Structure formats: structure tokens, C-alpha cells
Amino acid sequence: MQGKTPAGQTYLASDSGAMLEALAQNPGAVGYLLKSQLNTAVRTVRVNGIPSFNPTQPILALSLKEPQGYARQLLLCLQEK
């Protein structure tokens, strides 16, 4: 990516509560949460054309070094089919 960011305004939430707060305060924002983590301050958006029984979404993960701990576990989980 030659030092460029993937998007002009990106935010990494520290946990689901921080994500919910950021989404509630920024009406045009998009975030990914588990359905069980949602509350009434945000709404879900359905993406048409992706089968609901097996949704997939490409994810780009950038890191200065090999991910460890929770970040590694998340990336491994996302790779599983």
C-alpha cells in the first residue's frame, strides 16, 4: 500500500462498547459487530446478493508485525470456512 491508508477516516474500536458508541455518534459510519452485541442505538444493514446462510466479506488486515494474541485469534477465525 506504499504507506497509504485504506480509507481516509478509519477507527479501530477497543471493544464492542466503543464500537457501539462510535456508530451511534456517527450516523454514516459502518462497523462490524456480533448480532448479540447490538443495541437500540444502532441498526443493522442487510447486504443484498450475499446468501444469508453463508455470508462472506473480504477483509484486508494490515500489520507492522505478525499479529499476536486476540488479533491473531480473530484473523484465524475469519479465515476458517
Of residues 54, 59, 51, the one with CA closest to residue 79: 59
Q: Is 71 within the bounds of a domain?
A: yes
pLDDT above 60: residue 81: no
Name the residue range of residue 56's domain: 16-79
pTM value is: 0.50
Q: Is 7 within the bounds of a domain?
A: no
Q: Is 30 within the bounds of a domain?
A: yes
Considering its fold, how many domains does the chain have in total? 1
Q: Mind listing the pLDDT tens digit for each residue in 10-69?
A: 777 888 999 999 998 888 888 888 888 888 888 888 777 766 666 567 778 888 999 998
Q: Long-range contacts made by residues 12-17, C-beta under 8 angstroms, separation at least 24?
A: none
CA 25 to chain centre: 17
Q: Is 25 within the bounds of a domain?
A: yes
Q: Is 9 within the bounds of a domain?
A: no
